[in-house]
Amino acid sequence: MSTRIDARNVDVYYGDFHAVEGVSLVMEPRTVTAFIGPSGCGKTTFLRTINRMHEVIPGAYATGEILINDQNIYATGVDPVDVRTMVGMVFQRPNPFPTMSIKDNVLAGYKLNGKKLSASQADDIVEKALRGANLWTEVKDRLGLPGSGLSGGQQQRLCIARAIAVEPDVLLMDEPCSALDPISTLAIEDLIHELKETFTIVIVTHNMQQATRVSDKTGFFNIQGVGLPGHLVEFDTTEKIFSNPRDEATERYVSGQFG
Ligand SMILES: Nc1ncnc2c1ncn2[C@@H]1O[C@H](COP(=O)(O)OP(=O)(O)OP(=O)(O)O)[C@@H](O)[C@H]1O
Ligand SMILES: [Mg+2]
């Protein structure tokens, strides 16, 4: 499976507030794209439009097109639930369902979609997803225990397992390591390297080293001032963004002079 994401002139609003303006970019299959930029410039907002997750916020809407394998996910008749099956998401704070077992957490996507699985199908899915998330050996003997009993880094890998269990084509990650220690962070970064063989990955990060370690392409978002919409300043190979960006604001941001 190779999935291309083509965002065309995307604007995002929270009611009257214009949060993100005019974003166009293409994310290629089997690549990792990083979004960087100062707080409040719209990285999370734009990321959520790639699986229509912003629509759960009352009053939030987007205009423009996002084509996933040439299909506009905003076309009439497209079910956002189908979009979210195809485009998985991992959030900033590990958020396993606390009272659910590790196993049921991995299967949560199937349960939400109302899909019936046989016991052996369920076992296969759980093992494959946990292996994919590099968590299997650590939890295989305690699959029935609550997900909340895992360490933070393990919980985040559990959330990644939950996201990949439904076999999406795209994985969105919003600062997936911001609550993790350096060892867990490196474990997630290694995992991202492996997952990009299968998925198109988009990650938001405030960690510049992380962007250079994990991503192929980088988009720098910025905002001109309070109350103004955020926008994509520059999108290029990660190497170019960090060594020789076109825009002066990008240069200042990646060299740590603001943000
Ligand atoms: N649910 C919401 N309702 C109204 N405004 C929102 C909502 N979520 C975000 N915003 C506003 O949209 C703008 C962009 O926010 P967003 O969370 O996308 O920024 P960000 O780049 O992800 O920031 P950070 O790096 O701090 O996570 C901000 O002005 C923010 O206050
Ligand atoms: Mg954010």
Q: What is the mean pLDDT of the chain?
A: 94
CB-CB contact of 94 with 176 (8 Å): no
CB-CB contact of 230 with 252 (8 Å): no
Nearest CA to ligand 1 atom 11: 19
- Give pLDDT tens digits for 96-113: 999 999 999 999 999 887
User: Is 142 among the domain residues?
Assistant: no
State the angle between helix axes of 119-132 and 152-165 in degrees (0 to 180), rounded to the nearest 10. Answer: 120
Q: Which residue out of 16, 39, 45 has the highest number of ligand 1 atoms within 8 Å of its CB and is therefore the one to mutate?
A: 45
Q: Which residues pair with 32 in a beta bridge?
A: 201
User: Is 112 among the domain residues?
Assistant: no
User: Is 40 among the domain residues?
Assistant: yes
Here the CATH number for the domain that contains residue 219 is 3.40.50.300
Provide the phi-psi class of 167: left if phi over 0, else alpha when psi is between -120 and 50, else beta.
Answer: left
Q: Decide if pLDDT at 1 tops 70.
A: no
User: Is 48 among the domain residues?
Assistant: yes
User: Is 27 among the domain residues?
Assistant: yes
CB-CB contact of 217 with 237 (8 Å): yes
Number of structural domains, the chain? 1
CB-CB contact of 38 with 86 (8 Å): no
Residue 66: strand, helix, or coil: strand
How far away, in angstroms, is 50 Cα from ligand 2 center?
14
Please report the pLDDT score of residue 32 as a whole number. 98
Query: Which-ligand-closest: CA of 39?
Result: 1
Candidate from 44-58, 108-122, 143-157, 218-232 with smallest mean pLDDT = 108-122
Please report the pLDDT score of residue 113 as a whole number. 77
User: Is 201 among the domain residues?
Assistant: yes
- Give pLDDT tens digits for 159-213: 999 999 999 999 999 999 988 888 889 989 999 999 999 999 999 999 999 999 9
Average pLDDT of span 144-151:
95
How far away, in angstroms, is 45 Cα from ligand 2 center?
7
Please report the pLDDT score of residue 179 as a whole number. 85
User: Is 199 among the domain residues?
Assistant: yes
Question: What is the 8-class DSSP label of residue 109?
Answer: H
How far away, in angstroms, is 44 Cα from ligand 2 center?
4
> Percentage of residues in the chain with pLDDT exceeding 70?
99
Residues at CB less than 6 angstroms from ligand 1: 14, 17, 19, 37, 39-45, 57, 230
Torsion angles phi and psi, residue 143, rounded to 5: -65, -25
User: Is 136 among the domain residues?
Assistant: no
Average pLDDT of span 215-238:
97
> Percentage of residues in the chain with pLDDT exceeding 90?
88
Please report the pLDDT score of residue 227 as a whole number. 92
pTM: 0.94
Q: Which atom of ligand 1 is nearest to the CA of 92?
A: 27
Per the structure, the complete domain to which residue 182 belongs is given by 5-96+168-254
- Exposed (0-12), middle (13-18) or buried (19+): which is 167, by Cβ within 10 Å? middle
CB-CB contact of 214 with 34 (8 Å): yes
Q: Which atom of ligand 1 is nearest to the CA of 48?
A: 18
